[in-house]
Amino acid sequence: MPPLSTELDLALDLARTAEAEILPRFRTVSVTRKPDGTEVTEADRVAERAMRERLADARPNHAVLGEEFGESGPDDARYRWVLDPVDGTAGFTIGVPLFGTLVALLDDGEPVVGVIHFPAIRETVYAARGGGCYFRTADTETTVAVDPVDALRDATVTSTALHSSDVTAADDQTPYRLTDVVRQAGKFRFVTDCLQHALVARGRTHAAIDTLMRPWDVAALVPCVREAGGVAAPLSPGADDVVFGGSLVTAGSEALLKDIRTRLQPQ
């Protein structure tokens, strides 16, 4: 296994590979729906295919899990790449430039490399275990750290949407008590998809809540937040696996995460 710095370089290269397929299709792509009702575009599929082809050459013994084409590679592989070519497809389809490309590497299920890349605004947050978290723009590259606020009343908290909350929840969704967090937070805003967790890693906000998440939505976010000094966990107290826990809260401090997690639990 190459050092994680080498794997991080590969992850960044995979994000650039996806960008080359995504940006030419931005604002022009047509939309279809998957069997589960979520939106998908040609950009999603073509970009993931390009990343998979790159991995087949560079890491043929690694497994791959992607949003569009599922699992591939050896069943017993220690290392698994997790890919989401367009995180925020709903915004992407209407021309919102805040969608991201997510690339992660799992080591026996533990997320050890993460890249959160924003092609349209040319920003990237990325990290490898033990190496710190970085923020790159077109002109600069800096290390970043969370802002460790403990009290919810002092915190800026964000969420992506109202699904699986006490505002609106389908029959098969947990009605997390989002309204309690909204009322008690120092500031609350809705921020799109992976961007809200990148902002936590950068210390621009203090906590981010996603009540519904799939593994490819989560895996790249965790190393970035943790290497920036923050914490990440599923919302359900019974979920131990952060990548496959079905939801996510990230925060700049353990105290804030615990408070938010407790408040969100249905009564």
- pLDDT of the residue at 2: 66
Closest residue by Cα to residue 144 from 100, 198, 183:
198
CA-based max dimension of the chain: 51
Task: Give the whole-angstrom CA distance, residue 181 versus residue 188.
Answer: 8
Domains located in the chain, CATH noted: 4-144 (3.30.540.10), 152-264 (3.40.190.80)
- pLDDT of the residue at 38: 75
- pLDDT of the residue at 80: 98
| Single-letter residue type at 212 | L
**Would residue 142 be called left, alpha or beta, if left means φ above 0 and alpha means ψ between -120 and 50 degrees?**
beta
- Which ranges of the chain have pLDDT less than 70? 1-2, 37
- pLDDT of the residue at 42: 87
| Single-letter residue type at 165 | S
